[in-house]
Amino acid sequence: MVNVLITGGAGFIGSHIQDSMLSKNHKTIIVDDFSTGHRRNLNKESTFFELDIRDDALRDVFDSHRPDIVFHLAAQMDVRRSVREPTYDADVNIVGSIKLMELCREFGTKRIIYASTGGAIYGEPSYMPADEKHPVSPMCQYGISKHTVEHYLELYHKNYGLSYLALRFPNVYGPRQDPHGEAGVVAIFSLLMLRGKQVTIFGDGSKTRDYVFINDIVKACEIGIETDVVGVYNLGWGSEVTDFDIYDTVRRHAESEIPPIYAPTRLGEVERICLNASLAREVLKWEPTVALDEGIKSAVSFYRDHMEEFQI
Protein backbone atom coordinates (compact mmCIF):
# COMPACT_ATOMS: atom_id res chain seq x y z
CA MET A 1 0.00 0.00 0.00
CA VAL A 2 1.24 3.48 -0.84
CA ASN A 3 -0.04 6.94 0.00
CA VAL A 4 -1.49 8.47 -3.17
CA LEU A 5 -2.51 12.11 -3.45
CA ILE A 6 -4.69 13.16 -6.38
CA THR A 7 -5.03 16.84 -7.19
CA GLY A 8 -8.28 17.45 -9.04
CA GLY A 9 -9.50 14.13 -7.68
CA ALA A 10 -13.16 15.17 -7.68
CA GLY A 11 -13.07 15.74 -11.42
CA PHE A 12 -13.90 13.40 -14.26
CA ILE A 13 -10.52 11.73 -14.78
CA GLY A 14 -9.29 12.18 -11.21
CA SER A 15 -12.31 10.46 -9.70
CA HIS A 16 -11.78 7.39 -11.88
CA ILE A 17 -8.13 7.27 -10.82
CA GLN A 18 -9.33 7.58 -7.23
CA ASP A 19 -11.54 4.51 -7.61
CA SER A 20 -8.69 2.58 -9.18
CA MET A 21 -6.28 3.45 -6.37
CA LEU A 22 -8.81 2.48 -3.72
CA SER A 23 -9.48 -0.82 -5.47
CA LYS A 24 -5.77 -1.56 -5.10
CA ASN A 25 -5.97 -0.74 -1.36
CA HIS A 26 -3.84 2.38 -1.61
CA LYS A 27 -4.44 5.18 0.87
CA THR A 28 -6.02 7.88 -1.27
CA ILE A 29 -5.99 11.61 -0.51
CA ILE A 30 -8.03 13.96 -2.68
CA VAL A 31 -7.38 17.69 -3.10
CA ASP A 32 -9.95 19.63 -5.09
CA ASP A 33 -11.47 23.11 -4.92
CA PHE A 34 -14.64 22.14 -6.85
CA SER A 35 -13.93 24.73 -9.54
CA THR A 36 -14.70 21.97 -12.04
CA GLY A 37 -14.95 18.84 -9.86
CA HIS A 38 -18.02 17.64 -7.99
CA ARG A 39 -18.65 16.30 -4.52
CA ARG A 40 -20.67 13.44 -6.02
CA ASN A 41 -17.46 12.06 -7.51
CA LEU A 42 -15.77 11.60 -4.14
CA ASN A 43 -15.44 8.14 -2.66
CA LYS A 44 -16.14 7.98 1.08
CA GLU A 45 -13.04 5.84 1.51
CA SER A 46 -10.81 8.71 0.38
CA THR A 47 -9.50 11.46 2.63
CA PHE A 48 -10.65 14.76 1.16
CA PHE A 49 -9.39 18.34 1.42
CA GLU A 50 -11.22 21.21 -0.25
CA LEU A 51 -8.22 23.25 -1.38
CA ASP A 52 -6.81 25.12 -4.34
CA ILE A 53 -3.34 23.77 -5.21
CA ARG A 54 -2.02 27.34 -4.77
CA ASP A 55 -3.27 27.43 -1.17
CA ASP A 56 -0.57 27.45 1.52
CA ALA A 57 -2.69 24.97 3.48
CA LEU A 58 -1.65 22.28 1.00
CA ARG A 59 1.61 22.10 2.94
CA ASP A 60 -0.32 20.79 5.95
CA VAL A 61 -1.78 18.01 3.81
CA PHE A 62 1.70 16.93 2.75
CA ASP A 63 2.99 17.21 6.31
CA SER A 64 0.17 15.06 7.68
CA HIS A 65 -0.07 12.42 4.94
CA ARG A 66 3.38 12.29 3.32
CA PRO A 67 2.20 11.09 -0.12
CA ASP A 68 4.47 8.64 -1.94
CA ILE A 69 2.81 9.28 -5.30
CA VAL A 70 1.05 12.39 -6.62
CA PHE A 71 -1.34 12.32 -9.56
CA HIS A 72 -1.46 15.93 -10.69
CA LEU A 73 -4.69 16.63 -12.56
CA ALA A 74 -5.80 19.93 -11.00
CA ALA A 75 -5.67 22.61 -13.70
CA GLN A 76 -7.30 25.50 -15.45
CA MET A 77 -8.31 23.34 -18.40
CA ASP A 78 -10.52 25.56 -20.54
CA VAL A 79 -8.83 26.61 -23.78
CA ARG A 80 -11.18 29.56 -24.27
CA ARG A 81 -10.68 30.81 -20.71
CA SER A 82 -6.92 30.59 -21.16
CA VAL A 83 -7.25 32.93 -24.15
CA ARG A 84 -9.48 35.34 -22.19
CA GLU A 85 -7.54 35.15 -18.91
CA PRO A 86 -3.94 34.17 -19.64
CA THR A 87 -2.63 35.40 -16.28
CA TYR A 88 -5.10 33.23 -14.40
CA ASP A 89 -4.27 30.24 -16.60
CA ALA A 90 -0.55 30.63 -15.91
CA ASP A 91 -1.08 31.17 -12.19
CA VAL A 92 -3.08 27.97 -11.75
CA ASN A 93 -1.27 25.72 -14.20
CA ILE A 94 2.32 26.90 -13.82
CA VAL A 95 2.63 28.56 -10.41
CA GLY A 96 0.29 26.03 -8.80
CA SER A 97 2.32 23.15 -10.24
CA ILE A 98 5.62 24.63 -9.06
CA LYS A 99 4.22 24.96 -5.53
CA LEU A 100 3.16 21.32 -5.72
CA MET A 101 6.62 20.21 -6.87
CA GLU A 102 8.22 22.17 -4.05
CA LEU A 103 6.06 20.30 -1.54
CA CYS A 104 6.94 17.00 -3.19
CA ARG A 105 10.61 17.89 -2.84
CA GLU A 106 10.25 19.03 0.76
CA PHE A 107 8.29 16.02 1.97
CA GLY A 108 10.01 13.28 0.00
CA THR A 109 7.31 12.36 -2.51
CA LYS A 110 8.80 9.75 -4.82
CA ARG A 111 6.92 10.36 -8.06
CA ILE A 112 4.49 12.65 -9.89
CA ILE A 113 2.16 11.42 -12.63
CA TYR A 114 1.24 14.56 -14.55
CA ALA A 115 -1.78 15.02 -16.80
CA SER A 116 -0.43 16.97 -19.75
CA THR A 117 -2.18 17.56 -23.06
CA GLY A 118 -1.56 16.15 -26.51
CA GLY A 119 -4.44 18.02 -28.07
CA ALA A 120 -3.18 21.54 -27.33
CA ILE A 121 0.62 21.23 -27.24
CA TYR A 122 1.42 20.55 -30.89
CA GLY A 123 -0.73 23.24 -32.49
CA GLU A 124 -1.73 22.51 -36.07
CA PRO A 125 0.47 19.46 -36.70
CA SER A 126 2.89 19.35 -39.61
CA TYR A 127 2.40 15.57 -39.73
CA MET A 128 0.02 13.08 -38.16
CA PRO A 129 -0.22 11.20 -36.01
CA ALA A 130 1.96 13.59 -34.00
CA ASP A 131 4.63 11.88 -31.90
CA GLU A 132 6.64 13.26 -28.99
CA LYS A 133 9.32 14.55 -31.39
CA HIS A 134 6.82 16.76 -33.22
CA PRO A 135 7.56 20.48 -32.75
CA VAL A 136 5.68 22.03 -29.85
CA SER A 137 3.72 25.02 -31.15
CA PRO A 138 0.61 25.71 -29.06
CA MET A 139 -2.16 27.92 -30.40
CA CYS A 140 -3.48 28.84 -26.97
CA GLN A 141 -2.18 29.82 -23.55
CA TYR A 142 -3.46 26.57 -22.05
CA GLY A 143 -1.16 24.54 -24.29
CA ILE A 144 1.80 26.72 -23.31
CA SER A 145 1.12 26.46 -19.58
CA LYS A 146 0.70 22.68 -19.66
CA HIS A 147 3.90 22.25 -21.67
CA THR A 148 5.84 24.58 -19.35
CA VAL A 149 5.13 22.27 -16.43
CA GLU A 150 6.77 19.40 -18.32
CA HIS A 151 10.00 21.42 -18.33
CA TYR A 152 9.75 22.03 -14.59
CA LEU A 153 9.21 18.33 -13.99
CA GLU A 154 12.33 17.51 -15.98
CA LEU A 155 14.26 20.13 -13.99
CA TYR A 156 13.06 18.81 -10.63
CA HIS A 157 14.00 15.30 -11.71
CA LYS A 158 17.52 16.35 -12.73
CA ASN A 159 18.16 18.65 -9.78
CA TYR A 160 16.29 16.93 -6.94
CA GLY A 161 15.67 13.36 -8.08
CA LEU A 162 11.88 13.72 -8.22
CA SER A 163 10.63 10.96 -10.51
CA TYR A 164 7.89 11.87 -12.96
CA LEU A 165 5.77 10.64 -15.82
CA ALA A 166 4.03 13.21 -18.03
CA LEU A 167 1.14 11.71 -19.98
CA ARG A 168 -0.06 13.80 -22.90
CA PHE A 169 -3.75 13.04 -22.88
CA PRO A 170 -5.90 12.97 -26.01
CA ASN A 171 -9.61 13.85 -25.80
CA VAL A 172 -10.76 11.69 -22.91
CA TYR A 173 -14.45 10.79 -22.66
CA GLY A 174 -16.74 8.52 -20.68
CA PRO A 175 -19.04 8.37 -17.65
CA ARG A 176 -18.88 11.32 -15.19
CA GLN A 177 -17.45 13.77 -17.70
CA ASP A 178 -18.82 17.24 -17.02
CA PRO A 179 -20.50 18.87 -20.04
CA HIS A 180 -19.10 22.21 -18.87
CA GLY A 181 -15.49 21.02 -18.89
CA GLU A 182 -12.95 21.25 -21.68
CA ALA A 183 -13.18 18.53 -24.35
CA GLY A 184 -16.58 17.45 -23.03
CA VAL A 185 -18.26 17.11 -26.42
CA VAL A 186 -19.46 13.53 -25.84
CA ALA A 187 -21.08 14.59 -22.56
CA ILE A 188 -22.59 17.71 -24.12
CA PHE A 189 -24.00 15.91 -27.14
CA SER A 190 -25.30 13.00 -25.04
CA LEU A 191 -27.18 15.15 -22.54
CA LEU A 192 -28.65 17.48 -25.13
CA MET A 193 -29.83 14.70 -27.43
CA LEU A 194 -31.26 12.67 -24.56
CA ARG A 195 -33.27 15.75 -23.62
CA GLY A 196 -34.48 16.20 -27.18
CA LYS A 197 -32.42 19.32 -27.79
CA GLN A 198 -30.31 20.41 -30.74
CA VAL A 199 -26.50 20.30 -30.52
CA THR A 200 -24.02 22.83 -31.91
CA ILE A 201 -21.01 21.87 -34.01
CA PHE A 202 -18.35 24.59 -34.22
CA GLY A 203 -17.10 24.72 -37.79
CA ASP A 204 -18.30 22.45 -40.58
CA GLY A 205 -17.97 19.21 -38.60
CA SER A 206 -14.60 18.24 -40.07
CA LYS A 207 -12.50 19.26 -37.05
CA THR A 208 -10.78 16.16 -35.64
CA ARG A 209 -9.52 14.88 -32.32
CA ASP A 210 -8.14 11.61 -30.97
CA TYR A 211 -10.72 10.13 -28.54
CA VAL A 212 -9.75 7.64 -25.83
CA PHE A 213 -12.18 6.13 -23.31
CA ILE A 214 -11.61 6.84 -19.62
CA ASN A 215 -10.85 3.22 -18.69
CA ASP A 216 -7.88 3.20 -21.04
CA ILE A 217 -6.56 6.44 -19.54
CA VAL A 218 -6.86 5.02 -16.03
CA LYS A 219 -4.89 1.97 -17.16
CA ALA A 220 -2.04 4.24 -18.27
CA CYS A 221 -2.11 5.94 -14.86
CA GLU A 222 -2.01 2.56 -13.12
CA ILE A 223 1.05 1.64 -15.17
CA GLY A 224 2.55 4.95 -14.13
CA ILE A 225 2.91 3.91 -10.51
CA GLU A 226 4.04 0.39 -11.37
CA THR A 227 7.05 1.53 -13.37
CA ASP A 228 9.98 3.86 -12.70
CA VAL A 229 10.05 5.11 -16.30
CA VAL A 230 10.65 8.88 -16.50
CA GLY A 231 9.63 11.12 -19.37
CA VAL A 232 6.84 12.34 -21.63
CA TYR A 233 4.45 9.99 -23.42
CA ASN A 234 1.53 10.51 -25.79
CA LEU A 235 -1.65 8.55 -25.25
CA GLY A 236 -4.02 8.02 -28.16
CA TRP A 237 -5.27 5.80 -30.96
CA GLY A 238 -3.36 7.66 -33.65
CA SER A 239 -6.55 8.12 -35.67
CA GLU A 240 -8.68 11.19 -36.35
CA VAL A 241 -12.33 11.34 -35.38
CA THR A 242 -14.38 14.24 -36.74
CA ASP A 243 -16.89 16.27 -34.78
CA PHE A 244 -19.56 14.97 -37.12
CA ASP A 245 -18.50 11.37 -36.37
CA ILE A 246 -19.00 12.09 -32.67
CA TYR A 247 -22.38 13.68 -33.35
CA ASP A 248 -23.52 10.77 -35.50
CA THR A 249 -22.37 8.07 -33.05
CA VAL A 250 -23.96 9.79 -30.06
CA ARG A 251 -27.13 10.37 -32.11
CA ARG A 252 -27.45 6.65 -32.85
CA HIS A 253 -27.06 5.59 -29.23
CA ALA A 254 -29.27 8.43 -27.94
CA GLU A 255 -31.87 7.54 -30.59
CA SER A 256 -32.12 11.15 -31.74
CA GLU A 257 -33.08 12.42 -35.18
CA ILE A 258 -32.49 16.13 -34.51
CA PRO A 259 -29.94 17.70 -36.92
CA PRO A 260 -27.08 19.81 -35.52
CA ILE A 261 -26.60 23.57 -35.67
CA TYR A 262 -23.33 24.78 -37.22
CA ALA A 263 -21.51 27.77 -35.69
CA PRO A 264 -18.19 29.56 -36.35
CA THR A 265 -14.98 27.95 -35.12
CA ARG A 266 -13.50 29.20 -31.83
CA LEU A 267 -10.22 31.01 -31.27
CA GLY A 268 -7.34 28.87 -30.05
CA GLU A 269 -8.68 25.51 -31.18
CA VAL A 270 -6.68 23.38 -33.62
CA GLU A 271 -8.47 21.99 -36.64
CA ARG A 272 -6.92 18.52 -36.74
CA ILE A 273 -4.93 16.38 -34.32
CA CYS A 274 -4.26 12.77 -33.50
CA LEU A 275 -1.46 11.33 -31.42
CA ASN A 276 1.16 8.69 -32.09
CA ALA A 277 1.36 6.58 -28.91
CA SER A 278 3.87 4.04 -30.21
CA LEU A 279 6.37 5.06 -27.53
CA ALA A 280 3.81 4.33 -24.80
CA ARG A 281 3.07 1.00 -26.45
CA GLU A 282 6.76 0.11 -26.56
CA VAL A 283 7.96 1.40 -23.19
CA LEU A 284 4.88 1.45 -20.96
CA LYS A 285 3.19 -1.53 -22.63
CA TRP A 286 0.02 0.55 -22.86
CA GLU A 287 -2.49 0.67 -25.66
CA PRO A 288 -6.14 1.68 -25.90
CA THR A 289 -8.68 -1.14 -26.08
CA VAL A 290 -12.16 0.44 -25.96
CA ALA A 291 -13.42 1.23 -29.45
CA LEU A 292 -15.21 4.53 -30.03
CA ASP A 293 -18.65 3.01 -30.63
CA GLU A 294 -18.41 0.89 -27.49
CA GLY A 295 -17.16 3.82 -25.40
CA ILE A 296 -19.83 6.24 -26.59
CA LYS A 297 -22.52 3.63 -26.03
CA SER A 298 -21.30 3.32 -22.42
CA ALA A 299 -21.21 7.09 -21.98
CA VAL A 300 -24.71 7.65 -23.40
CA SER A 301 -26.06 4.89 -21.16
CA PHE A 302 -24.49 6.58 -18.13
CA TYR A 303 -25.99 9.97 -18.96
CA ARG A 304 -29.37 8.41 -19.61
CA ASP A 305 -29.30 7.03 -16.05
CA HIS A 306 -27.87 10.19 -14.44
CA MET A 307 -29.49 13.05 -16.35
CA GLU A 308 -30.76 14.72 -13.20
CA GLU A 309 -27.19 15.18 -11.92
CA PHE A 310 -26.07 17.32 -14.87
CA GLN A 311 -27.17 20.80 -15.84
CA ILE A 312 -26.66 21.93 -19.43
Write down how long the chain is: 312
Q: Give 275's DSSP letter.
A: B
Determine the number of helices (DSSP H) and then strands (DSSP E) in the chain: 11, 13
Q: Which residue in the list 142, 156, 211, 247 is annotated as catalytic?
A: 142
Contact indicator for 30, 51 with CB cutoff of 8 Å: no
Q: Give 130's DSSP letter.
A: B
Q: What distance in Å separates the CA atoms of residue 97 and residue 116, rounded to the nearest whole number?
A: 12
Dihedral of the alpha carbons of 55, 59, 65, 69, in degrees to the nearest 10: 80
The SS3 of residue 143 is helix
Contact indicator for 231, 170 with CB cutoff of 8 Å: no
Contact indicator for 209, 248 with CB cutoff of 8 Å: no
Contact indicator for 170, 275 with CB cutoff of 8 Å: yes
Q: What distance in Å separates the CA atoms of residue 183 and residue 263, rounded to the nearest whole number?
A: 17
Give the number of other CB atoms < 10 A from CB of residue 263.
10
Q: Per-residue b/e over 267-276, b at no fewer than 16 CB within 10 Å?
A: ebbbeebbbb
142 among known catalytic residues: yes
Give the number of other CB atoms < 10 A from CB of residue 293.
11
Of 235, 269, 245, 292, the closest CA to residue 83 belongs to 269
Phi, psi at 158, each rounded to 5°: -65, -45
Q: What distance in Å separates the CA atoms of residue 146 and residue 190, rounded to the nearest whole number?
A: 28
Active site residues: 142
